Amino acid sequence: MAVSPPEPFFSGPGLDRADALRADEAALRALSDAPDATQLLWREGLPELTPVGRLDWGPPSNPELFLGFDGKSPRFSAIEPVAPDAWTAFPLMAVLDPADAPLFAAAMSLCRWHGRHRFCANCGAPTDVVRGGWSRRCPACSAEHFPRVDPVVIMLAEHGGKLLLGRQPHYPQRRYSALAGFLEVGENLEAAVARELFEEAGIRVRNVRYIASQPWPFPSSLMIGCHADAESDELTIDTSELDDARWFTREEVAAALADDPGAQFQAPPKAAIARTLLEHWLAA
Amino acid sequence: MAVSPPEPFFSGPGLDRADALRADEAALRALSDAPDATQLLWREGLPELTPVGRLDWGPPSNPELFLGFDGKSPRFSAIEPVAPDAWTAFPLMAVLDPADAPLFAAAMSLCRWHGRHRFCANCGAPTDVVRGGWSRRCPACSAEHFPRVDPVVIMLAEHGGKLLLGRQPHYPQRRYSALAGFLEVGENLEAAVARELFEEAGIRVRNVRYIASQPWPFPSSLMIGCHADAESDELTIDTSELDDARWFTREEVAAALADDPGAQFQAPPKAAIARTLLEHWLAA
């Protein structure tokens, strides 16, 4: 198993977030006035890309979110309304430079969170943007609210050299992908993986291994990719969650990843960690 | 490295959550009327324990939260106000049976979340408890809000056979533990580990490995335990976050875990994943 750890899309350091500066309002104002300060450009609810797939920037006009430093240059964004349908972002993801993907994800998730969290969940009053856009504070009850990151387990189950993949109803035709679900309070990764695979496919698993993780900004998930060994290949599919789930051989997975015309199914797209998990499994 | 994967406190399957039933209000009502239905007992903002450290149960009087099934017996809780100071729960954790710990964590986190989220973050209106207590829905704008799970990275950095541990200002005297911090939008595990270690201790790391994870219900964290290799042992400590950070030898860590009177520091308590990470490192 001399396979190097996989690097899913949206992974990487992104900007220097300089989080110690967020609480210093005077410093942030000075930074947004700096000659090399820039603000992310948006169009129709999505960050704008240059023709070569980099994020595009203009002069600061409404620098509500301090995203961090690109080298020494401060980068900001306004709090923009985000396109409600995640699928509209998928064409952009196909051309987005991986070096800018973490920042794209952070800006999307932050803006989406602000759009849905203008009021205090504790008392109902309108809240103020503070900490350079990294939290909101309630002037009425003083509660502070931080952006959500929702952990999701996404996993391959293996049995007798075959992998379990499933189809959600909204998938493109012939697409199969890794099963997934939100981790709940009171669970760790291993417990969530076991629960989801039992709920959705009726299988018991052991030996759950973490493989890789990925921020997924639709709207603010942390996808935690795992691999598990199934104790049997007998499936009981939860048809309220999945259209179908099936076991695929190594050759079938390889054909799908290669876009072979005879492939049994269509593999998940390059930006999805499910594809990273499949590639990692084939390479092992 | 024939070390079996560590099992931190609060880990394990807990109850069968039977999440498919949550949306069925009639079924939940029938379950709460069942002769073997029980409701979690609380005292002073914490679940009550029997003398042998099991969760204690009484007849359903206000079964607002459907926790799941213990075998075939349905288990509920009221939405209780939770003790605001996490430290008050620590004595209970020392006697809590590990088999009941995941359920203790789920009940604490759910109740705490309801207490702080009675209003709609999207429009400010009071919200209703739905799905057997596993979400809240806004009657005004129809937004649905789910309980938060906040991922936290907690990690050991290693250099030349020594481990980096730090002291937060609120720790008991002589306590050192693993460094930790909230994962942010746009980051994966590996990026968050690298950012936190650089922010808090000024070190660059590579080869970040996932070790184990743990729900931590104060109020609703998912602690994701990792190990990383530091590129140097030169520290620049962020004194706004840490009182101190130091490198400890294998012998010093072993002495602390053994509560040796001559130990250089006091190890984290058994319920904390930081201790699991230290034990796992020593055993490797």
For B139-181, write each residue's pLDDT tens digit. 999 999 999 999 999 999 999 999 999 999 999 999 999 999 9
Chain A interface, best mutation among B185, B209, B216, B277, by max A CB count within 10 A = B185
pTM of the model: 0.96
Name the domain count of chain B.
2
Mean pLDDT score across all residues of chain A:
95
**Within a domain: A14:** no
Answer yes or no: do A24 and A134 share one domain: yes
Locus of tokens 């319920």: B271
Answer yes or no: do A141 and A154 share one domain: no
- Examine the pLDDT at B77 and tell me if it is beyond 80: yes
**Within a domain: A60:** yes
- The confidence score (pLDDT) of residue A174 equals 95
Answer yes or no: do B35 and B136 share one domain: yes
**Within a domain: A3:** no
Answer yes or no: do B182 and B252 share one domain: yes
pLDDT class for A3, splitting at 50, 70, 90? low
Which residues from chain A sit within 8 angstroms of residue B120, using beta carbons? Answer: 119, 121, 124
CB distance from B193 to chain A under 8 Å? Answer: no
Q: What percent of chain A has pLDDT over 70?
A: 98
- Examine the pLDDT at B78 and tell me if it is beyond 90: yes
CATH for B175: 3.90.79.10
Query: What are the structure tokens assigned to A92, written together?
Result: 């952009």
Helix (H), strand (E), coil (C) string for chain B: CCCCCCCCCCCCCCCECCHHHCCCHHHHHHHHCCCCCEEECEECCEECECCCCCECEECCCCCCEEEEEECCEEEEECCCCCCCCHHHHHHHHHHCCHHHHHHHHHHHHHHHHHHHCCECCCCCCECEEEHHHCEEECCCCCCEECCCCEEEEEEEEEECCEEEEEECCCCCCCECECEEEECCCCCCHHHHHHHHHHHHHCCCEEEEEEEEEEEECCCCEEEEEEEEEECCCCCCCCCCCCCEEEEECHHHHHHHHCCCCCCCCECCCCCCHHHHHHHHHHHC
Answer yes or no: do B192 and B244 share one domain: yes
Q: Which domain, by its residues, includes A112?
A: 19-145
**Within a domain: A8:** no
Give the end of a domain, one of A121, A145, A169. Answer: A145
Give the end of a domain, one of A123, A145, A167. Answer: A145
In a 3-state reduction of DSSP, which class is residue A229? strand
CATH for A118: 3.90.79
Answer yes or no: do A135 and A234 share one domain: no
- The confidence score (pLDDT) of residue B62 equals 97
B109/A14 Cβ within 8 A: no
**Within a domain: B54:** yes
**Which of residues 139 through 178 in chain B touch A, CB cutoff 8 A?**
143, 145-151
- Tell me the sheet residues that pair with B225: B154, B212
Answer yes or no: do B198 and B269 share one domain: yes
pLDDT class for B229, splitting at 50, 70, 90? very high
- The confidence score (pLDDT) of residue A90 equals 85
Half-sphere exposure of A239 (CA within 13 A, CB side): 0
Contact status, residue B227 vs residue B208, Cβ threshold 8 Å: yes
Cβ neighbors of B20 (< 8 A, separation 6 or more) are: A199, A238, A240
- Examine the pLDDT at B52 and tell me if it is beyond 90: yes
Mean pLDDT score across all residues of chain B:
95
- The confidence score (pLDDT) of residue A1 equals 43
With a threshold of 0.90, tell me whether the complex ipTM lies above it: yes
Q: How far apart are CA B103 and CA B109, in angstroms?
A: 10
B128 vs A94, more confident:
B128
**Within a domain: A75:** yes
Answer yes or no: do A117 and A33 share one domain: yes
- The confidence score (pLDDT) of residue B3 equals 55
Contact status, residue B122 vs residue A116, Cβ threshold 8 Å: yes
